[in-house]
């Protein structure tokens, strides 16, 4: 058993000392325009926000920083009226408010550039910008002329020349994003939320966005700026708030902060987590990937996976990790590159071939891709193995049960009986069924995509234990995970991906959370790097 | 500007014209202005119902109860007219709209407030509405001689060479086209069906928009209830039985996406005309009615394939975005 103790939060930052007493107004400081206090929001099985505080000041940019799953997006949805908080208070200009839906929040002057592309592909650009708030003529009809005019005005402010009548689906992603920004600017808002606004913009467009941010600041708007990129945060923000695991863990003025401090706040863990990692000596290479490319999603993916090894894949959401795994499993076609599996050339063109070659993939969305919720546990586990255990086309239930019983025991599945419908199990136990079903195939390589996402603590530990045990028995595991403790605690080696490329490869020994975050966000240069890169980093594609 | 050739309505219009020309080769008498006007009049009811159905389908729902709604509304006005011929026509028209609208409200509330899937709701109300006709009429027919001359005559009044029935359809088409193009509700139909998540973010109420679509479909079904009963001069339990399938077919042929968010008034009208022409023309050129069903079936599938091909989705384009940034 190995204990990973990620850094404890250092505690001497300017923010933490005050974190318990929410945002006292300092003498000489402006009063916050918006003040959220003790906001909590739970979903079945997850407490997404656990009493967070946030203040936004007029004419200032507040950066909201946090790892994937820290609760940033949930907060944005709470602030824009999509979600109603379970607990806590929102004070707008000193007055307690509740937002009854998105329209209500918009009416009160809160507008957001959302991270997801929540736009309408089939409609024109002008309609996308004004949907739900179209200008109307005296007779109550939609005023298309005025709508086009105002669209042109907004794009003029953005210094772009998208035609108002262009259909949205004919635009590239970057220009779609500009439409989202234009939509937010079409409202005369007091508060503008930017949820990763530069995620798909080119360098020039990012500079233009900064100019817009400056204009909005000068107009006295309060801006909430969410970003993974530290250089960006330092460029635009006046203040910061850091979220971790649904809690606000620090805030302060950017002038008093540095990258190291912010990263420590982001990844610091207060509780030491124990991972049941069994130390093994990895054997010969089982899977060797060489220069795997996809026209649009990833490029130059090279790595080897050895027998009995757990290889972690870390990166931000959207870095292309799942796309690579889906390509290996034969769901997405690749354009070039070679893969060797167990010494044999392996062409990943169809999941059936992957299964025959002994490679299984456990996808992230288990509900949609992993289990048949209406079928009992034993049938789910036996499903992929039916070909092996059937006799002249007939399946013996007893053999299905035998197969299922063994894996249920090894996975410590908590179910009344093997005949229980999978849909009635908890999320963690459903995940165990998914993993068990693929293990029953007797694979050589198993790819687990976010295996413990949205899973309760107990099941998490069981899945980790099982994963470790399997590796010790000689199975090779690829674990895609966005959770740093899990990556640190379970992996023998870690590959880090960013923007469709592998940007770092690290051995277990020389690994810490900050190194991973730096690599994943492209901030290696920001501080002394302590990560011991293996020779494989030579394969890693150069990055800008 | 989209090239005309990629425009679905334009293509469909070409197909309809080609169809008429083809029939004209075999049966020139079909292509006379008088006969074409007759075909248009025959298709009027289908056209109006298709517009209501289009609104419903665009919001990712379906209204299987249109024909039953039509039959019930028609039966109610026919019975009232038979019981008291003195009641003036405007009152009866209002009545048919109220009944049809109310039945649409029932569908809409079940979908919006109770949250039952629309196909289940309207499958249920289809039977309920048909059953209600039986309960009201006791299974009896209302025949031509029980209806007042004004009741039967109104849709037949000719104006500029077309009967009032056809003019009603033209006015309704223009009204619906205007409503879809120039009201917030009309635009909301596209938004709610095209991307419900985004619609919520835009501050639209998805359920209320679906409700509005059902009310619109109900009102049109009510109007068509009177028109149908007076045109065929008879009302009984089974009138327009199965007609909801023709209505949905007209929408699908007209390029209305069953997945929601896509559809045009022009498309739905052309889809209805296509079905109307095949229905009227095939007997003229001596093709069996069974072939006619197979042809509409084939056209529906062809239309769906063409529409599906134009809507392929692209990936996440991670690399392209990354390149764009550097």
In the prediction, which pLDDT does A188 show?
A: 81
What does the pLDDT average to over A179-186? 85
pLDDT score for A528: 37
pLDDT at A295: 86
Question: CB-CB: which of A202, A203, A500 is closest to B319?
Answer: A500
pLDDT at B161 over 70: yes
Place of tokens 């789910």: A380
Say if residue A362 is in the same domain as residue A450: yes
Give residue A533's pLDDT band: very low, low, confident or very high (50, 70, 90): very low
Distance of CA A522 to the CA centre of its chain: 16
Same-domain status, A226 and A324: no
**Do both A249 and A365 map to the same domain?**
no
Q: Cβ B194–A118 below 8 Å, yes or no?
A: no
The CATH number fitting domain B8-15+33-307, selected from 1.10.3470, 1.20.1070, 3.40.50, 2.30.29: 1.10.3470
Residue A153 within a domain: yes
pLDDT classification of A10: cutoffs 50, 70, 90: very low
The more confidently predicted of residues A132 and A311 is: A311
Residue A7 has pLDDT above 50, yes or no: no
Q: Does A131 contact B325 at a Cβ distance shorter than 8 Å?
A: no
Distance of CA A420 to the CA centre of its chain: 32
The fraction of chain A above a pLDDT of 70, given in percent, is 84
CATH number for the domain spanning A515: value is: 3.40.50.300
Q: Is residue A4 part of a domain?
A: no
**Shortest Cα–Cα distance, A539 to chain B (Å):** 18
pLDDT in tens, B90-121: 999 999 999 999 999 999 999 999 999 999 99
Q: How many domains does chain A have?
A: 3
Whole-angstrom distance, CA of residue A519 vs CA of residue A498: 8
Average pLDDT rounded to a whole number, residues A19-26: 48
Query: Which residue of chain B comes nearest to A143, CA vs CA?
Result: B182
Q: Does residue A428 fall inside a structural domain?
A: no
Same domain for A89 and A131, yes or no, is: no
Pick the range with the lowest mean pLDDT from A103-117, A247-261, B125-139.
A103-117
Note whether B204 contacts A: Cβ–Cβ < 8 A.
yes
pLDDT value of position A12: 41
Residue % of chain A over a pLDDT of 90: 23
Lowest mean pLDDT among A396-405, A532-541, B170-179: A532-541
Which value does ipTM take for this structure? 0.82
Q: Cβ atoms within 10 A of the Cβ of A80, count?
A: 23
Model pLDDT for residues B188-199, shown as the tens digit of each residue: 999 999 999 889
Helix (H) / strand (E) containing A390: strand A390-391
In b/e form, how buried is each residue of A304-338, taking b as 16+ CB within 10 angstroms? Answer: bbbbbbbbbbbbbebbbbbbbbbbbbbbbebeebe
**Searching chain A, which residue's CA lies closest to the CA of residue B318?**
A297
Residues in chain B within 8 Å Cβ distance of A144: 182
- Which of A271, A295, A317 represents a domain boundary (last residue)? A271
A146 touches B: beta carbon within 8 Å: no
Q: Which of B115, B111, B124 is nearest to B65 (CA)?
A: B124
CB A382 within 8 A of CB A375: no
Q: Quick one: pLDDT at residue A28?
A: 62
Structural domain includes residue A64:
yes
Burial-class residue B19 by CB neighbours within 10 Å (0-12, 13-18, 19+): middle
A294 and chain B: CB distance < 8 Å anywhere?
Answer: yes
Model confidence band, residue A328 (pLDDT cutoffs 50, 70, 90): very high
3-state secondary structure of A376: strand
Q: pLDDT tens for residues A119-163?
A: 898 899 999 999 988 999 998 899 999 999 999 998 888 777 889
What are the sequence ranges of the domains in chain B?
8-15+33-307
Domain extent for A128 = 117-187
B183 and A119 within 8 Å at the Cβ level: the answer is no
Angle between helices B118-137 and B66-83 (to 10 degrees): 20
pLDDT of residue A391: 73
Note the pLDDT of residue B8. 77
Same domain, A217 and A330: no
What's the confidence (pLDDT) of residue A171? 80
Confidence check: pLDDT of B323 > 80: no
CB-closest option in B186, B191, B317 to A120:
B191
CB contact under 8 A, B202 and A173: no
In chain A, residues with a C-beta closer than 8 Å to the C-beta of B324 are 174, 200-202
pLDDT score for A542 = 41
Average the pLDDT over A409-436 and give the result: 80
**Residue range B110-135: average pLDDT?**
95
> Model confidence at A312, in pLDDT bands (50, 70, 90)?
very high
Residue A513 lies in a domain: yes
Using CB atoms, pick whichever of B2, B184, B195 lies closest to residue A134. B184
Residue-wise pLDDT for B19-37, tens only, equals: 899 888 988 888 899 999 9
CA dihedral (A27, A32, A36, A37) in degrees, to 10, reads: 20
With respect to residue A384, please indicate whether it lies within any of the assigned structural domains: no
Q: Which residues contact B216 (CB under 8 A, 6 or more apart)?
A: B52, B55, B56, B104
- Taking an 8 Å cut-off on Cβ atoms, the answer to whether A201 and B262 are in contact is no
State the pLDDT confidence band at A26, using cuts at 50, 70 and 90. low
Task: Assess whether A453 and A522 both reside in one domain.
Answer: yes
pLDDT at residue B267 tops 80: yes
Distance of alpha carbon A107 from alpha carbon A31, whole angstroms: 22
For the segment B51-58, the average pLDDT, to the nearest whole number, is: 97
Please write the tens of the pLDDT for every residue from A247-304.
898 899 998 888 888 888 887 654 445 677 777 788 889 999 999 998 888 999 999 9
Q: Which residue has the higher pLDDT, A174 or A537?
A: A174
Cross-chain residue pair B316–A323, CB shorter than 8 Å: yes
* Interchain proximity A131–B199, CB inside 8 Å: yes
Taking the Cβ of residue A167 and every Cβ of chain B, the question of whether any pair is shorter than 8 Å is answered with: yes
- Range A159-176 average pLDDT: 83
- Same domain (yes/no): A168, A295: no
Q: Is the Cβ of A333 closer than 8 Å to some Cβ of chain B?
A: no
CB-CB neighbours of A234 under 10 Å: 16
Q: What is the pLDDT of residue A406?
A: 84
Quick check: B201 and A114 CB within 8 A? yes
Lowest mean pLDDT among A222-226, A359-363, B72-76, B127-131: A359-363
CB atoms within 10 A of CB A373: 14
Decide if B207 touches A, using CB distance below 8 A.
no
B50 Cα to chain A: minimum distance (Å): 21
Same domain for A267 and A289?
no
Residue A26 lies in a domain: no
Are A223 and A342 in a shared domain? no
Query: Does some domain include residue A231?
Result: yes
The verdict on A318 and A175 lying in the same domain is no
Note whether A358 and A290 are same-domain residues.
yes
């Amino acid at each position: 058993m190995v204990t990973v103790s990620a850094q404890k939060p250092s505690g001497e930052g300017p923010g933490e000392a005050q974190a318990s007493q929410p945002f006292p107004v300092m003498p000489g400081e402006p009063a916050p325009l918006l003040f959220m206090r003790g906001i909590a929001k739970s979903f079945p099985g997850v407490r997404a926000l656990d009493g967070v505080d946030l203040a936004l000041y007029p004419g200032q940019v507040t950066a909201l920083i946090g790892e994937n799953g820290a609760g940033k997006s949930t907060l944005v949805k709470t602030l824009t009226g999509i979600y109603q908080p379970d607990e806590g208070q929102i004070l707008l200009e000193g007055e307690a408010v509740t937002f009854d839906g998105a329209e209500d929040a918009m009416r009160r002057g809160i507008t957001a550039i959302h991270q997801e592309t929540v736009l309408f592909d089939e409609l024109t650009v002008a309609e996308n910008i004004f949907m739900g708030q179209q200008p109307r003529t005296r007779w109550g009809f939609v005023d298309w002329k005025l709508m086009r005019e105002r669209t042109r005005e907004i794009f003029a402010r953005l210094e772009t020349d998208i035609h108002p009548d262009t259909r949205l689906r004919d635009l590239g992603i970057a220009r779609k994003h500009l439409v989202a920004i234009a939509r937010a600017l079409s409202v005369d808002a007091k508060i503008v939320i930017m949820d990763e606004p530069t995620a798909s913009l080119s360098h020039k467009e990012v500079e233009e966005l900064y100019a817009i941010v400056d204009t909005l600041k000068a107009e006295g708007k309060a801006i909430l700026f969410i970003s993974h990129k530290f250089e960006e945060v330092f460029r635009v923000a006046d203040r910061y708030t850091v979220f971790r695991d649904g809690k606000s863990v620090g805030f302060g003025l950017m002038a008093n902060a540095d990258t190291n401090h912010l990263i420590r706040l982001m990844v610091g863990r207060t509780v030491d987590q124990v991972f049941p990692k069994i130390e093994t000596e990895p054997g010969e290479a089982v899977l060797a990937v060489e220069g795997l490319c996809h026209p649009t999603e990833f490029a130059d993916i090279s790595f080897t996976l050895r027998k009995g090894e757990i290889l972690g894949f870390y990166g931000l959401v959207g870095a292309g990790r799942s796309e690579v795994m889906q390509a290996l499993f034969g769901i997405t076609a690749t354009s070039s590159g070679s893969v060797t599996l167990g010494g044999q050339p392996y062409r990943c063109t169809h999941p059936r071939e992957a299964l025959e070659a002994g490679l299984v993939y456990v996808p992230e969305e288990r509900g949609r891709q992993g289990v048949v919720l209406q079928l009992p546990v034993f049938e789910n586990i036996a499903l992929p193995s039916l070909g092996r255990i059937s006799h002249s086309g007939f399946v013996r239930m007893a053999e299905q049960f035998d197969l299922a019983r063994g894996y249920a025991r090894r996975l410590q599945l908590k179910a009344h009986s093997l005949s229980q419908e999978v849909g009635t199990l908890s999320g963690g136990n459903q995940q165990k069924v998914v993993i068990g079903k693929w293990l029953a195939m007797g694979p050589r390589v198993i790819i687990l995509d976010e295996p413990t996402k949205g899973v309760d603590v107990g099941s998490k530990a069981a899945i980790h234990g099982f994963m470790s045990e399997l590796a010790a028995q000689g199975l090779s595991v690829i674990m895609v995970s966005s959770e740093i403790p899990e990556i640190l605690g379970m992996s023998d080696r870690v590959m880090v991906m960013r923007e469709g490329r592998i940007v770092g490869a690290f051995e277990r020994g020389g690994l810490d959370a900050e190194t991973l975050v730096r690599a994943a966000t492209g901030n290696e240069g920001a501080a002394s790097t302590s990560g011991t890169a293996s020779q494989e980093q030579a394969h890693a594609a150069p990055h800008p | 500007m989209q090239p005309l050739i990629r425009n679905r309505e334009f293509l469909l219009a070409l197909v309809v014209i080609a169809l008429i020309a083809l029939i004209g080769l075999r049966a020139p008498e079909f292509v006379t202005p008088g006969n074409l006007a007759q075909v248009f009049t025959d298709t009027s009811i289908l056209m109006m119902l298709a517009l209501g159905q289009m609104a419903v389908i665009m919001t990712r729902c379906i209204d299987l109860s249109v024909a039953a709604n039509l039959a019930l509304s028609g039966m109610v006005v026919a019975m009232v007219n038979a019981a008291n011929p003195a009641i003036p026509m405007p009152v009866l028209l209002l009545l048919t709209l109220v009944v049809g609208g109310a039945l649409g409200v029932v569908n809409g509330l079940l979908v919006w407030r109770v949250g039952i899937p629309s196909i289940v709701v309207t499958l249920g109300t289809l039977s309920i509405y048909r059953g209600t006709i039986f309960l009201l009429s006791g299974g009896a027919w209302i025949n031509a001689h029980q209806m007042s001359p004004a009741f039967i005559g109104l849709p037949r009044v000719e104006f500029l060479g077309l009967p009032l029935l056809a003019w009603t359809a033209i006015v309704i088409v223009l009204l619906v086209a205007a409503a879809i193009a120039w009201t917030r509700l009309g635009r909301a139909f596209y938004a709610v069906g095209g991307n419900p998540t985004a619609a919520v973010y835009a501050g639209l109420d998805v359920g209320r928009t679906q409700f509005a679509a059902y009310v619109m479909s109900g009102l049109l079904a009510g109007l068509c209830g009177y028109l149908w009963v007076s045109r065929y001069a008879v009302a009984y339990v089974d009138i327009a039985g199965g007609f909801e399938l023709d209505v949905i077919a007209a929408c699908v042929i007209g390029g209305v996406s069953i997945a929601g968010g896509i559809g045009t008034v022009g498309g739905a009208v052309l889809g209805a005309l296509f079905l109307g022409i095949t229905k009227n023309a095939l007997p003229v050129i001596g093709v069996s009615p069974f072939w006619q069903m197979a042809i509409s079936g084939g056209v529906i599938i062809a239309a769906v394939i063409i529409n599906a091909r134009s809507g392929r989705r692209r990936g996440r384009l991670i690399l392209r975005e990354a390149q764009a940034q550097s």
